[in-house]
Structure 1
């Protein structure tokens, strides 16, 4: 099953709502806020719209320069050009009246999830997490994924074809094992379909056959196309 990234929040929040309330039914509808979805209770006639919650379905955080030098190092070659720590994110969310967000593991820390895990634990009422799949051929990435989901509470996993071993596709043995395990755990797979890290808008066309193959072989695994698949609408 494939859906857009805007639907990720409702899928992830349904089994364990970010904003718990007895009898709550989660809904999803589009929002004018960039990359945001509106989650809330099914309203009865006359109920105020303030009962709805605004949830950003795709954000990143990375360490400050000080944190990176002391505890959370950047991955070589992916040092950020702008600040983006959790306190900055929370400030922006407050200014924009956003109640919660899905944090996707950033490329700046590659497979070191310590910073995001700390942020999720520090602000459990604000954030849920999506980890980054490590396609290591020894299978260690799958073990890490299981730990992050089962022990640390992550609710999604991102596949980035650009960090797969050179010359290999996401349909290799590790990719299939990852995709299958995600379905078994009920964890949706978010696919980063950019051709390369410059985010070519034609990116999905380079991976469409791989996505179709994985979805055909493992139909119980839900798929989210990050950034709407980087589709470029006709002009």
Structure 2
């Protein structure tokens, strides 16, 4: 007698929906509660609106579960506030430290301590800081990111599987050869290029150089801070959300790198002076890039969750 086919019970649990995650944002305390680094104070309009509490409220309103917090420049290498935020909101944040290339081997040791902070024995995925930002503007005048300190820091990140985010604020062309040299020296170090490589649209001469980085399998690109990378000759209309030029930028990134290596980010709190956080969270389906639901799930969470396993729950 043939066995009777079984069907799953009606009360079987449904698969959990994918988390929605922000790959790039900042927080900082109010000026009355914390001392900013002299000369690196945040814009006055954001001095009191970039706290963790303000961020969590904005994320909840926009349906964003978690984020990667990048150490803000106004706190420079004092990582105490961001570390406290990660502790206060367990399961919502992973932190990205800011490398200090000015202290020689002491800076390398500082970075090592940050990357080991919060580890459970034998489990790096429990640490507070799991990524590192290289800001080439912080290297001493005349020095390159490929100096002894930069190479040591980059290799340390490879040992920890901590992605290095490159902030090429003044142009990718100034730093792309250094980035390539570092990756050749340490192919196991993951890399994230911040904010579309700061390329001003697809006609920017740097855009081709950014797409050519796709040949390095360790490289991902943050499709973040769309308002920062508008073409220099953008019309007033194109400077308004949803930034029509973003569609071509995003689609070309996906085609060159593959959707698995592109990550959406907001650049909170700066985005609050532009389109606002809630609008930023809907740009993928509004910018004209033809993003499919499957692509969106990877761009807005799946890729970041895979990069930092165990980081969000």
TM-score over 0.5 for the pair = yes
CA distance in 1, matches of 2:166, 2:103: 19
Give the alignment of 1:75-224 within 5 angstroms. 75-81=37-43, 82=46, 83=48, 84-152=50-118, 153=127, 154-195=129-170, 203-224=171-192
Find the residue that maps to 2:40 and give its secondary structure: coil
Find the residue that maps to 1:155 and give its secondary structure: strand
Q: Does 1:229 align with 2:229?
A: no
Q: RMSD over aligned Cα, in angstroms? A: 1.6
* Greater gyration radius: 2
Structure 1 gaps, min length 5: 1-46, 196-202
CA distance in 2, matches of 1:90, 1:177: 35
How far has the Cα of 1:137 moved from its partner?
A: 3.7
Question: CA 1:137 to 1:144, structure 2 compared with 1: closer, same or farther past 3 Å?
Answer: closer
Could you report, residue by residue, the CA deviation over 1:177-234 in whole angstroms, capped at 9, with x for unpaired residues? 1111111111111111112xxxxxxx11110111111111111111110112112212
More helix by share: 2
Question: CA 1:223 to 1:51, structure 2 compared with 1: closer, same or farther past 3 Å?
Answer: same
Give the alignment of 1:22-41 within 5 angstroms. none
Query: Which ranges of 4 or more aligned residues in structure 1 deviate by more than 6 Å?
Result: 47-50
How far has the Cα of 1:87 moved from its partner?
A: 0.3
Number of residue-to-residue matches in the alignment: 178
Could you report, residue by residue, the CA deviation over 1:116-157 in whole angstroms, capped at 9, with x for unpaired residues? 011011112111100000002432221121111112321100
CA distance in 2, matches of 1:164, 1:218: 20
Q: TM-score, normalised to structure 2's length?
A: 0.55
Question: CA 1:218 to 1:92, structure 2 compared with 1: closer, same or farther past 3 Å?
Answer: same
Could you report, residue by residue, the CA deviation over 1:28-54 in whole angstroms, capped at 9, with x for unpaired residues? xxxxxxxxxxxxxxxxxxx97971211
Partner residue, 1:10: none
CA distance in 2, matches of 1:185, 1:113: 19
Q: Does 1:57 align with 2:23?
A: yes
Structure 2 gaps, min length 5: 1-12, 119-126, 204-230, 232-313
